[in-house]
Amino acid sequence: MDILRLALLSLAAAIAVIFGASLLFEADRSARDNPPQMVQNPNAGRDNELVAARAKIEAHIGAEAPDYMRFFKHLKQMLPAEYDTILTGFAQQQLEGADMSNVDSLLSDAVRALRLSNGALAAKSDGPSLTHIFAMQSAMMHALAAKSPKLCVDFLYGGASPAFFDFSSKNRALVADMAIAGLDAINNGRKSRIERPPPSDADFTLLENALKAKQLSDVEISAILDGKTPPTPIPDSRMCQVGEIYLDSLAALPEPARFRIYGLAVELMARS
């Protein structure tokens, strides 16, 4: 098996996952000198001031972004220890002078913390949970394509720009749904613990044949699977179509091959 192709395929297939939300906010995070660091012990220093700061942040999220609060409520219900750690980290940073008013950044930081601590569990989730992750990826691609082919292509390859941040702040329901899909998969994987073998060469052959059947050229297939830059750049509008065809073709593969690719893609993203 071509490990390089596997890694690039996984990147293109799973960029963000729970994962997608943090990509959308990367441009905003890069502008922050000291992004919040989650405290290791959520029970340390829990005095009245810290509790009050937490309550203020929770109330702010609920008032400013009800869609994001759906994610945080799910997190509190499914993984209460992680929720406690993340919110206490936010409160601690606020008490140290950090500006914690940007709800988009709060969701981004929460998603990133959860991805790093528990993201690999999503790879062990059942078929419907994995499928939902990538269905949300496809929905995000379609929404971005309607807005701007350039944003669509940037999302496909993990790019970040202020335009991503603007899009996400105006599409919070979709961003929250994508984050919740990843959270649900983590929770399901924590219970299911399904072990899948890595995808085989035969799995990749199935995918390549499916792409060819959708009239993708060798150059386009190489661009989407290998990350190769073609001699003549593919227009954004077409590359966006290629990405959508890619995700649709992946979703149409036979379940064993599809879930092997999905599972490893999620696992690799959790390590990044």
Q: What is the pLDDT of residue 22?
A: 45
Which among 137, 98, 143 has a CA at the least distance from the CA of 13?
137
Helix axes 127-147, 172-192, angle to 10 degrees: 160
User: What angle do the packed helices 66-78 and 80-95 form, to 10 degrees?
Assistant: 130
pLDDT score at 160: 60
Say what the pTM is.
0.81
CA distance 151 to 163: 7
| pLDDT given at position 34 | 47
Single out the residue of 21, 125, 31, 148 nearest to residue 72, CA to CA.
21
Q: Roughly how many angstroms between the first and final C-alpha of the chain, as a whole number?
A: 21
CA distance 69 to 156: 27
Alpha-carbon gap, residue 62 to 235, rounded angstroms:
41
Structure token digits, residue 49: 């001031």
Helix then strand then coil, % of the chain, to nearest 5: 75, 0, 25
Amino acid 161: pLDDT: 66
Each of the 272 residues of the chain gets a pLDDT tens digit; together they read 444 344 444 444 434 333 444 444 444 444 344 444 445 555 544 578 999 999 999 999 999 999 999 999 999 999 999 999 999 999 999 999 999 999 988 998 898 889 889 989 999 999 999 999 999 988 988 998 999 998 888 887 766 667 777 888 899 999 999 999 999 999 999 999 999 998 888 998 999 999 999 999 999 988 887 777 888 999 999 999 998 998 899 999 999 999 998 888 888 777 76
The predicted pLDDT at position 41 comes to: 52
